[in-house]
Amino acid sequence: TTVIKDEDNDDETIYDEEYSDPYEKVKKYKRSPRHKNKKHKNHHSTTELPETKTVPVEQPKDFPPSDEIYKYIMERAGPLAGIGTGDYVTFIDTTGKSPNNPNVIIMYCFYPKEDKSGLRTILHAYNWNSQMINAVSEKQSDILLMIPMLLKPISYGNITFTNNVQARPKIFLNYFDDSEDLNTYVKTVRFIEKFIDTKSFKKHNAKLVKVPDSTCDGLSYNSDDYWKCSLQRRASSCYHLSSTARMGDNILTSVVNYKLQVHGLENVRIADASVMPYTVNANIHATCVMIGEKCADRIKQYWKEKV
Ligand SMILES: Cc1cc2nc3c(=O)[nH]c(=O)nc-3n(C[C@H](O)[C@H](O)[C@H](O)COP(=O)(O)OP(=O)(O)OC[C@H]3O[C@@H](n4cnc5c(N)ncnc54)[C@H](O)[C@@H]3O)c2cc1C
């Protein structure tokens, strides 16, 4: 195995000697500064994408309640005035070192006690079993679901494919390959505990709902080990997948150049989340749109100069 250091951006590419063509080398995994000093682990121990399932969404007949409709029409206020799920987010720094450069985002979904159907759907999507879903959704109270997401994960996955165009690529998500990511989640749980204890939450009589995860039976509920066990089973990317065709100058460590052209192919460009060198410190959709806009500008510029 050889390690090549990229002078431009401090990246390292690791490849086996058997690869002689530089484009072949690109297939091998890369190490970014964030991942330095990490030993590459066997990706076959990781989970493949689960089968997707269609979950019926039940809508109660009396929802939204008429007083909420009245409130919205008269005051433009109440739950109907929101944008639905994800009305607000919190950025936190669990390291305590860089409050202006957070490493976790907490997304919130509010479910009024009259309608838990959306809650059941989302928890199902996050791999909660029915016993756990029932423990939350049967509560006779409003529920504020907090969904933490790592903004600077250290673990990273990979995709392998062959020259058989009929074969599906294999996607290795590799969550928690680096245990530091699990530690960050546990710190986030501790942050949430303190957050719930603030005056603002207390005013609304907010309490954390205890939802025992039977797969972690034997571990004391709410211990660090309990959370590590439970979180590993319920982790998700929040659909924020990125960086599989990185942008950069070096053909060994990137797939597209800064004009988003695939290295060596002038007329093939990639403009999506895959070109991000690293995932962004936020939800990624706005950046995807920006990449698309930038690519459109580049293409216009290209033809302007050419014609
Ligand atoms: C359920 C869900 C909720 C999300 N919520 C948020 C959120 O709240 N905030 C946020 O910031 N991000 C959110 N995301 C993530 C965000 O939507 C994605 O990261 C973003 O849309 C990715 O953009 P993209 O351009 O890389 O890919 P996509 O938006 O997936 O675009 C790929 C396009 O390529 C097309 N395509 C695929 N194959 C072919 C082919 N062979 N030929 C031609 N066209 C093809 C597809 O039809 C699609 O239009 C969410 C994602 C999901 C799935």
At 24, the pLDDT band (50, 70, 90 cuts) reads very low
Q: What is the pLDDT of residue 11?
A: 53
Query: Are residues 185 and 91 part of one domain?
Result: yes
Half-sphere exposure at residue 255, Cβ-oriented, CA atoms within 13 angstroms? 18
Residue 89, phi then psi, degrees to nearest 5: -140, 160
Shared-domain flag, residues 231 and 272: no
**pLDDT over 50 (residue 49):** no
Same domain membership, residue 252 and residue 197: no
Helix (H) or strand (E) holding 95: none
216 shares a domain with 103: yes
| Pair 136, 246 in one domain | no
Task: Assess if residue 47 is contained within a domain.
Answer: no
Residues 78 and 209 placed together within one structural domain of the fold = yes
Q: pTM score, two decimals?
A: 0.76
Domain end among 199, 215, 239: 239
**Which two structure tokens, joined as six digits, stand for 26?**
């690109």
pLDDT at position 102: 95
Q: From 217, 239, 261, give the residue that closes a domain.
A: 239
Q: State how many domains the chain has.
A: 2
Q: Which percentage of the chain shows pLDDT scores above 90?
A: 55
* pLDDT above 70 coverage of the chain, percent: 79
How far apart CA 282 and CA 94 sit, in angstroms, is: 15
Q: Report the pLDDT value the prediction gives residue 29, as an integer from 0 to 100.
A: 43
Ligand 1 centroid, distance to 28 Cα (angstroms): 25
Cα distance between residue 48 and residue 92, in whole Å: 30
Same domain, 251 and 124: no
Summarised one tens digit per residue, pLDDT across range 240-253 is 999 999 999 999 98
The atom of ligand 1 lying closest to the CA of 271 is: 25
CATH of residue 111's domain is: 3.30.560.10
Final residue in a domain of this structure, among 239, 258, 276:
239
Pocket test of ligand 1: the residue of 285, 289, 291, 293 to mutate, having most ligand atoms within 8 Å of its CB, is 285
179 domain residue, yes or no? yes
Q: Are residues 166 and 293 in the same domain?
A: no
DSSP, res 214: G
Closest atom of ligand 1 to 273 CA is: 26
Segments in 64-148 forming alpha helices (H): 66-75, 117-125, 130-137
159-212 pLDDT, tens digit per residue, is 898 999 899 999 999 999 999 999 999 999 999 999 999 999 999 999 999 999
Check whether residue 220 and residue 244 sit in a common domain: no
Within a domain: residue 34? no
Query: Are residues 161 and 256 part of one domain?
Result: no
Residue 121 lies in a domain: yes
Q: How far is the CA of 248 from the centre of ligand 1 (A)?
A: 22
Residue 279 domain boundaries: 240-306
Per-residue pLDDT tens digits for 276-299: 999 999 999 999 999 999 999 999
Give the per-residue pLDDT at 106. Answer: 95
If phi > 0 it is left, if psi is from -120 to 50 it is alpha, else beta; for residue 304 that is alpha
- Domain identity same for 159 and 125: yes
Query: Looking up tokens 């709902």, which residue turns up?
Result: 209
DSSP 216-279: GTTSPTTSHHHHHHHHHHH---TT----SS-B-S-TTT-SB-TT-BBTT-TT-B--SGGG-SS-
CA-based torsion, 282, 285, 286, 291: positive or negative? positive
143 and 79 Cβ atoms separated by less than 8 Å: no
126-155 per-position pLDDT tens digit: 888 889 999 998 899 999 999 999 999 999
